[in-house]
Homo-oligomer: A and B are copies of this chain.
Amino acid sequence: MREMVFEILTPREIEAKSMETITKELGGRTWPEPEFSIVKRCIHTSADFDYADNLCFSEDAAKIGVEALKNGADIVTDTKMAAAGINKNKLTSLGGEVHCYISDPDVVEEAKSRGCTRSTVCMERGAKLGKPTIFVIGNAPTALIELHRLINEEGLRPALIVGVPVGFVNVVESKELIMTDDMPYIVAKGRKGGSNIGAAIINAMLYTMGR
């Protein structure tokens, strides 16, 4: 049995030390809060410093997101992984709830009969919640494209759009598109993103209010 010496730290200490390392390796680059916390948590969840370059915030987007969460905003997401990764204890304590309709049988059915993606149908459902809602897109460019349509054609006013789909087809373009809308957004420009990044962004905002 190979022996190695590991530092024995509590999860809280590990996180603090990780954030310290990230801050150090950012070499003096800094952001106003709560943006800085979001940048650091995205790097923390991926060990990928590209997020220091690709995260884009519309004016006061992170502050707006924190306020919305504080006031009990719900979250609609296109992936079960993002839904699983968001800190529900904290969210629930603020009055918010996570909705992910992607595998609901009636959503699957409706998408099939209309010939659109399930994510498109999910966004439509999310748009009908009737309360302030943060949309977290970790997978489907079609979700962002549908949000763009809902904003421009049906008057949807998301509390915040977290636009971090990942991939190689329509992903870059869908992010560019949503940034043309005059709505609060946090977007990871380019191909990168994912459910883990979506959840990290929400959790970073939640944790500004304590753990």
Q: Tell me the A residues contacting B by CB distance below 8 Å.
A: 1-2, 4, 6-7, 9, 11, 14, 17-18, 21-22, 44-48, 50, 80-81, 83-85, 117, 141, 145, 148, 152-153, 166-171, 173-174, 176-177, 180-181, 190-196, 199
Q: How far is the CB of A25 from chain B (nearest CB, A)?
A: 9
Q: Which chain B residues border A141 with CB–CB below 8 Å?
A: 6
Q: How far is the CA of A22 from the CA of B168 in the complex (A)?
A: 8
Query: Secondary structure at chain A's binding surface: helix, strand, loop or mixed?
Result: helix
Copies of this chain held together in the complex: 2
Q: How far is the CB of A6 from chain B (nearest CB, A)?
A: 5
Given known contacts A48-B50, A81-B84, what 6 new A-B pairs fall within 8 Å (CB)? A2-B177, A21-B168, A47-B166, A47-B191, A48-B192, A81-B196
By CB atoms of chain B within 10 A, which of A141, A177, A196 has the most? Answer: A196
Q: Which chain B residues border A11 with CB–CB below 8 Å?
A: 117
| 6 A-B pairs with the lowest CB-CB distances in the bound complex, closest first | A47-B191, A84-B84, A1-B152, A18-B168, A2-B180, A80-B84
Would B46 and A194 count as touching, CB distance under 8 A? yes
A to B CB contacts below 8 Å, 15 in the list: A2-B180, A2-B181, A6-B170, A9-B169, A18-B169, A46-B194, A47-B166, A47-B168, A47-B193, A48-B50, A81-B84, A81-B195, A81-B199, A84-B85, A85-B195
Q: Which chain B residues border A17 with CB–CB below 8 Å?
A: 168-169
